[in-house]
Amino acid sequence: MKKAANNKIQSIVRACRIILRMIEADPNTRHSQKMYYRMLLQYYTRLRDARENGQFIAAHTVFFPAEILLAMDIIPMHTETTTWMTSLFTGECGDILAAGARLGMATEICAPHRGMAGAFASGALPRPDVMVWSNMVCDNTAKSGELVMDICGCPGFFIDRPFKDSGLEKTYMAGEIRDMIAFLEDKSGKKMDYDRLSTIVERMDRQIELTRQVNELRKNVPTPFSPLGFLELLTIDYLFPGQPESIEYLETLKAELEEMVKQKKGAIPKERFRLMTLFIPPMYLMSFLEKLSVESGAVSVIEPFFTFWGEGRLDASRPVEAVVEKAYMIPETRMYGPLGESALEAIKKCAREWKVDGAVYYADVGCRHSCATIKLFKDALAEVDVPVLTIDCDVVDQTVTSEEEVRDKMERFFELLEDR
Amino acid sequence: MLSIGIDIGSLTTKTVVLNNGRFLASVVSETLDEAEISAQVAMTKALERIDADEDPLRFVVTTGAGAKGVSFSDRSKAITTCLARGIAYCVPEARAVIDIGAESSTVVKTNERGKVLDWANHDKCAAGTGIFLQQMAKLMKLSFEEMSELSETASKGADITGTCAVFAESEVISHVHRVPPTPMPEIILGIYLSVSSRIKTMCKRIGANEKIALSGGVALHKGLVRTLEKEIGQPLFVPDDPVCVAALGAAVLAGEEIQKETAQ
Ligand code: SF4
């Protein structure tokens, strides 16, 4: 498996190693950033070697409670993130998207899902032992699991997370999780270790708390965290929920940011525009966006749907219920189902408290679930006098938008902000 | 000091010269292969039109395709900023401007100071642009004036998609070859309606609901203007020189830059 020509996991491992070698030698790189890349390397190396080591692999979609897998010593494979990482680190997802197209995946479907299907079909990702997935956070996700089961010929389990969050639905979802644990125990032959799950939940609670504290520090002017650093926060939640590495990373980051605040140092030389990021920027444009941020003094200070956790704590003494609780606290689930006033209030609160000048909506054209919110968000932000730039794009499909287009739109927007 | 605005479009390059806010000249010339040469030629032509005793010092603001690469440009500005300033100069009461250029269409919402509040643009497809209208005129072997006149006689418009220029073209062909063929005025009105509905959506998207002006060469297309007015439900302001609005705005911005520099 390691030597397969199109092995995306191996490509990510290789890219992580190269980046790490570069940044380890750079005295200006944040220590936490080095830790972050080490974590990525660890995740993908473990995944790459799982088969050879006789480990059980569960592929899972975004926001699936990977805590369960980790507590059972099952190797998780986060499918969407792996598609992104492929785009981010190799700059190219064309081959897996083409493989998806050969399966009949329409270009109108969001590319992480097209890519995921194509990657499994073409052998670019290892065949999982099971597929586990949920309807968090969109309909594409709800369907993708079945497709992966079909392509890989593996068994699977779907968790239903109801839209509403009264006690009844949470009890129902806890039942779903218990059924899934039974399914995993049956397929993997491994037993759920509830003590371990409690420990993971306890750490997850700390992880959320630390993310909140990091966000508090980002309120400072100038903001101490890098322009697109929020992707690190997002990724560690996706790949390392409740893991000691996440806590160590967040504590280090927090200390670094505190020090910068003390020294009144900003993440970029001259902060001019404090941005709110709505949805995910195209991965293949990350280095361009980083460069543009520094050039133009624009920095993302808050992301209501990625880093701004809902209120609440996780009770480690009832770990299954805590996993359910988390499913209702995840920032992005504010977009799940009917939006409701609370989601709109959350973005207005973020705009006010983080002193946001403008918001950038990376409108993933294949994501009907998020695109349907554009007007609502725009209207809500208009109430707090925050203009919104909408960039039609795709997280990984390079054919949707070009660097030139994004630069043009961003520069127009910065001019608008400057001219106000 | 002269403030010069140059808007490099895909077909034509527009130049406006102001002195202390006073209009001196405007010129429209063909866009050549290189932005630098297009801008140079256009500026030279514009300067030929002004009195020799005008101030020889100048501040140049460029906008449009390749504007950043023009070596003698003192600043390059986004087309949206230029449209907003330009429309505030020539139609002060306007609070939005619809610009239908050769290859793209843009709606800019502005405030009373000519500042951009929001914008929406469409540049992914020729549908809703000047080139699309040109193609349609060619297909029907009509001039813009003839199209305008014929559209007046239509009682309804033929169904023509507003989302894709290629589909729209094949729809027009099928209307022409239908038995019996769709009457020409209905096809033309259908074309105008397809452009207008696309523009209307952009206006709605950014809340450009009132006091809307029109710029770009397409503003001279009377039939389309009338259709657009009906679709949007209000009369549109059409400036005397709709083609040069962005260049005018660039010249206004050049004036602002001069003031800033003088104040420092
Ligand atoms: S981008 Fe949208 S459609 Fe795609 S996985 Fe994310 S939420 Fe679902």
Q: What is the largest CA-CA distance in chain A?
A: 63
Residue linked to tokens 């209030």: A345
- pLDDT grade, residue A385 (50/70/90)? very high
Q: Nearest chain A Cα to B63, which residue?
A: A412
Give the DSSP letter string of A188-218: H-PPP-HHHHHHHHHHHHHHHHHHHHHHHHH
Pairwise CA distance, residues A32 & A60, whole Å? 27
Pairwise CA distance, residues B132 & B152, whole Å? 20
* H-assigned helices in chain B: 35-48, 79-90, 130-139, 144-152, 165-177, 184-206, 222-232, 245-263
Atom of ligand 1 nearest to the CA of A109: 3
Q: What is the DSSP pairing of strand B22-30 with strand A388-393?
A: unpaired
Q: Is the ipTM of this structure higher than 0.90?
A: no
Q: Where are the domains of chain B?
A: 2-85+244-263, 93-238
Please tell me the distance between residue A367's alpha carbon and the centre of ligand 1 in angstroms. Answer: 5
Which pair of tokens denotes residue A294?
């520094």
Residue linked to tokens 């409740």: A242
Give me the sign of the Cα torsion angle A102, A108, A110, A111: positive
Contact A99, A167 (CB under 8 A): no
Exposure class string for A218-240: b at 16+ Cβ within 10 A, else e: bebebbbbbbbbbbbbbbbbbbb
High-pLDDT (> 70) share of chain A, % = 99
Pairwise CA distance, residues A147 & A140, whole Å? 10
Residue B130 has phi, psi (to 5 degrees) of -65, -40
Residue A264 amino acid letter: K
Contact B92, B62 (CB under 8 A): no
Please tell me the distance between residue A334's alpha carbon and the centre of ligand 1 in angstroms. Answer: 14
Pairwise CA distance, residues A20 & A37, whole Å? 6
- Closest residue to atom 7 of ligand 1, CA basis: A138
- Closest residue to atom 8 of ligand 1, CA basis: A138
A82 lines ligand 1 (CB under 6 A): no
A79 lines ligand 1 (CB under 6 A): no
Which pair of tokens denotes residue A185?
């125990």
- CATH code of B93-238, in short, is 3.30.420.40
Pairwise CA distance, residues A395 & B249, whole Å? 36
| Option in B116, B205, B207 nearest A419 (CB) | B116
Q: Do B80 and A415 touch (CB under 8 A)?
A: yes
Q: Do B78 and A411 touch (CB under 8 A)?
A: yes
Average pLDDT across chain B, whole number: 91
Q: Do A415 and B117 touch (CB under 8 A)?
A: no
- DSSP secondary-structure letter at B218? G
- CA separation, residue B200 to residues A148, B85, B197, B208, B221 (Å): 42, 22, 5, 9, 17
**Closest approach of A346 to chain B, Cα-based (Å):** 22
Nearest to A278 by CA among A355, A207, A342, A348: A348
- DSSP secondary-structure letter at A219? T
Exposure class string for A32-66: b at 16+ Cβ within 10 A, else e: bbbbbbebbbbbbbebbebbeeeebbbbbbbbbbb
What per-residue confidence (pLDDT) applies to A418? 94
Give the DSSP letter string of A285-348: GHHHHHHHHHHHTEEEEE-TTTT-PPS----TTSHHHHHHHHHHH-GGGGGSSS-HHHHHHHHH
CB atoms under 10 Å from CB of A172, counted, come to 13
SS3 B25: strand
Q: What is the DSSP pairing of strand B22-30 with strand B96-100?
A: unpaired
Element (H, E) at A20: helix A8-24
High-pLDDT (> 90) share of chain A, % = 79
- pLDDT grade, residue A1 (50/70/90)? very low
The total number of residues written for chain B in this structure:
264
- Of residues A220 and A402, the one with the higher pLDDT is A220
**Closest approach of A248 to chain B, Cα-based (Å):** 43
**Average pLDDT, stretch A314-336?**
93
The pLDDT tens digits for A212-259 are: 999 999 999 999 999 999 999 999 999 999 999 999 999 999 999 999
**Closest approach of B185 to chain A, Cα-based (Å):** 36
- DSSP secondary-structure letter at A163? S
Pairwise CA distance, residues A165 & A156, whole Å? 25
Residue linked to tokens 């497809």: B125
- Chain B 198-227, CB below 8 Å of chain A: which residues? 205, 207
Q: Is the pLDDT of residue A2 over 50?
A: no
Domain A9-191 is of which CATH architecture? 3-Layer(aba) Sandwich (3.40)
Domains A9-191 and A195-419 share a fold: yes
Pairwise CA distance, residues A312 & A341, whole Å? 18
Pairwise CA distance, residues A326 & A67, whole Å? 11
Residue A278 amino acid letter: L
Q: Is B118 on the interface with A (CB under 8 A)?
A: yes
Pairwise CA distance, residues A166 & A180, whole Å? 22
Please tell me the distance between residue A35's alpha carbon and the centre of ligand 1 in angstroms. Answer: 28
Which residues on chain A are in Cβ contact (under 8 Å) with B117? 387, 416
Pairwise CA distance, residues A133 & A62, whole Å? 8
Q: Domain A195-419 falls in which CATH fold?
A: Rossmann fold (3.40.50)
pTM of the model: 0.88
The pLDDT tens digits for A285-306 are: 999 999 999 999 999 999 999 9
Which pair of tokens denotes residue B44?
């030279």
**Average pLDDT, stretch B117-129?**
81
Pairwise CA distance, residues B157 & B136, whole Å? 15
Q: Do A415 and B116 touch (CB under 8 A)?
A: yes
A401 lines ligand 1 (CB under 6 A): no
Pairwise CA distance, residues A288 & A296, whole Å? 12
Pairs across A and B, CB distance < 8 A = 31
Q: Domain B2-85+244-263 falls in which CATH fold?
A: Nucleotidyltransferase; domain 5 (3.30.420)
- Closest residue to atom 2 of ligand 1, CA basis: A367
Contact B250, B18 (CB under 8 A): no
A370 lines ligand 1 (CB under 6 A): yes
Which pair of tokens denotes residue A338?
């009917």
Provide the terminal-to-terminal Cα distance of chain A, rounded to the nearest Å.
Answer: 56
- Closest residue to atom 1 of ligand 1, CA basis: A367
SS3 A51: coil
- CA separation, residue A314 to residues A62, A205, A310, A323 (Å): 20, 5, 12, 8
Q: Do A419 and B115 touch (CB under 8 A)?
A: yes
The pLDDT tens digits for B28-79 are: 999 998 999 999 999 999 999 998 777 778 999 999 988 998 999 999 999 9
- pLDDT grade, residue A137 (50/70/90)? confident
Domains B2-85+244-263 and B93-238 share a fold: yes
Q: Residue A115 CA to chain centroid, in angstroms?
A: 16
Q: Do B119 and A412 touch (CB under 8 A)?
A: yes
CB atoms under 10 Å from CB of A143, counted, come to 14
Nearest to B130 by CA among B175, B77, B186, B191: B191
Q: Among A108, A369, A395, A396, which residue has the most ligand 1 atoms within 8 Å of its CB, making it the best to mutate?
A: A369
Q: Where are the domains of chain A?
A: 9-191, 195-419
| Option in A388, A408, A419 nearest B81 (CB) | A419
Q: Is the pLDDT of residue A90 over 90?
A: no
Q: Do A415 and B77 touch (CB under 8 A)?
A: yes
Q: Residue A102 CA to chain centroid, in angstroms?
A: 27
The pLDDT tens digits for A154-193 are: 999 999 999 888 789 999 999 999 999 999 999 999 999 9
What per-residue confidence (pLDDT) applies to A366? 87
The pLDDT tens digits for B218-245 are: 888 889 999 999 999 999 999 999 999 9
**Average pLDDT, stretch A370-380?**
89
Which pair of tokens denotes residue A47?
């995944």
The pLDDT tens digits for A30-74 are: 999 999 999 999 999 999 999 999 999 999 999 999 999 999 999
- How buried is residue A415: exposed, middle or buried, by Cβ count under 10 Å (0-12/13-18/19+)? middle
Element (H, E) at A417: helix A403-419
Contact B81, B249 (CB under 8 A): yes
The pLDDT tens digits for B157-196 are: 998 876 677 888 888 888 888 889 999 999 999 999 988 9
What per-residue confidence (pLDDT) applies to A133? 96
Atom of ligand 1 nearest to the CA of A364: 1
